Amino acid sequence: MSQTLKRRWNLVLASLLVLVSLGSFLAARSAEAQTFTGVQGDRHRIYLGFQVKPDALQAWLPAPWQLNPIASGPLKGANFQVVLLERVRDDDPDGKPKYSGTNRVVAYVAPAKHPQTGTTASMIVGGYASNPAYQPGFYKVFRAATVRVEHAIKSHELDAEEITDVWEVRDATGAGGLELRLESLRKVGARTRSKGEPNVISAKEPALWRIYKFDTAMDVVKSAPEGIDRVQKYAFRLTDSEFGKLFDGSERLVGIFVQPWYVRQVFVK
């Protein structure tokens, strides 16, 4: 090897070492900015993606955050999500449960963007929780509710399941809440694996900020953007005293996907 080639090779190695060192430094700085607070596990999550009147929904977002409709995927174009989940585990950093019992949660989520920084986040604008330990919860928005859930599976063949999900939610007054009945055909072979690290913040107190490092499986049940429709029966009614006005007949269902299992590490920023 000539001296010139050696010098060039040494320069390349030196550059790579600098990049690796810089990457390690940035990773360390990023880790310093996040505090690990525990692990959460859900056995069933249902995502309903809607397009609702943007002006009405924007009123729930704190300034200067702006609505930022989902840009891609099965819920592309949705600006409001209703997420229904059954939390079966919520552990602290030492692996000890933070509260006893399960927790059934309904979260109202708006995809948002900060116009000055360009930061995107899922903003929790409201919702319900069945477990008193989660009221109002980290995001300060979850109200008390009684929640009844039914989940039935009928197997047809190796790659098909007929699944019925029923959710009935009643707030403390008994007048408001939510009802969902979803019957759909799930193709196990079409199920996908997904990982991510979304920013999730509170609409009530934007400084309440979490990063979820999740691992999950996903069944797309319905997607207008992707031309998928495995829904057999669907009925949804929102009588929430605060958010019911978003569903005045002008709303449009963009899509539905289900995560049969979901686990995540929780970090506070």
CATH number at residue 100: 2.40.400
Residue 241 pLDDT class (50, 70, 90 cuts): confident
Average of per-residue pLDDT values in the chain? 89
Q: Write the pLDDT tens digit of every residue in 71-107.
A: 999 999 999 999 999 999 999 999 999 999 889 999 9
Contact 18, 232 (CB under 8 A): no
**Two tokens, residue 195:** 């990982």
pLDDT given at position 187: 87
Shared-domain flag, residues 28 and 155: no
Shared-domain flag, residues 11 and 116: no
**Two tokens, residue 229:** 């429709």
Q: How far apart are CA 230 and CA 37, in angstroms?
A: 38
Shared-domain flag, residues 119 and 200: yes
Shared-domain flag, residues 80 and 211: yes
Bridge partners (DSSP) of residue 106 are 84, 128
**Two tokens, residue 38:** 């525990």
Shared-domain flag, residues 54 and 106: yes
pTM of the model: 0.87
pLDDT given at position 178: 96
**Two tokens, residue 69:** 């409709």
**DSSP secondary structure, 18-54, as one string:** HHHHHHHHHHHHHHHT-EEEEEEEEEEEEEEEEE--H
What's the maximum distance between 2 C-alpha atoms anywhere in the chain?
Answer: 84
Shared-domain flag, residues 101 and 21: no
* Mean pLDDT along residues 215-238: 98
Q: How far apart are CA 198 and CA 68, in angstroms?
A: 14
Q: Write the pLDDT tens digit of every residue in 131-189.
A: 999 999 999 999 999 999 999 999 987 789 999 999 999 998 888 999 999 999 998 88
Q: Write the pLDDT tens digit of every residue in 42-68.
A: 999 999 999 999 999 999 999 999 999
In the chain, how many domains are there?
Answer: 2
Shared-domain flag, residues 10 and 113: no
Structural domain range at position 229: 35-268
**Two tokens, residue 49:** 């993606």
Contact 159, 189 (CB under 8 A): yes
pLDDT given at position 47: 99
Q: Is the pLDDT of residue 115 over 50?
A: yes
Residue 199 pLDDT class (50, 70, 90 cuts): very high
How many Cβ atoms from other residues are within 10 Å of residue 184's Cβ?
A: 20
Shared-domain flag, residues 56 and 5: no
| Dihedral over alpha carbons 110, 116, 77, 142 (to 10 degrees) | 0
Q: Is the pLDDT of residue 3 over 90?
A: no
Shared-domain flag, residues 206 and 242: yes
Contact 62, 203 (CB under 8 A): yes
Contact 90, 40 (CB under 8 A): yes
Residue 257 pLDDT class (50, 70, 90 cuts): very high
Q: What angle do CA 222, 228, 234 make, to 5 degrees?
A: 30
High-pLDDT (> 70) share of the chain, %: 88
Shared-domain flag, residues 29 and 138: no
Shared-domain flag, residues 13 and 134: no
Shared-domain flag, residues 19 and 39: no
Contact 43, 86 (CB under 8 A): yes
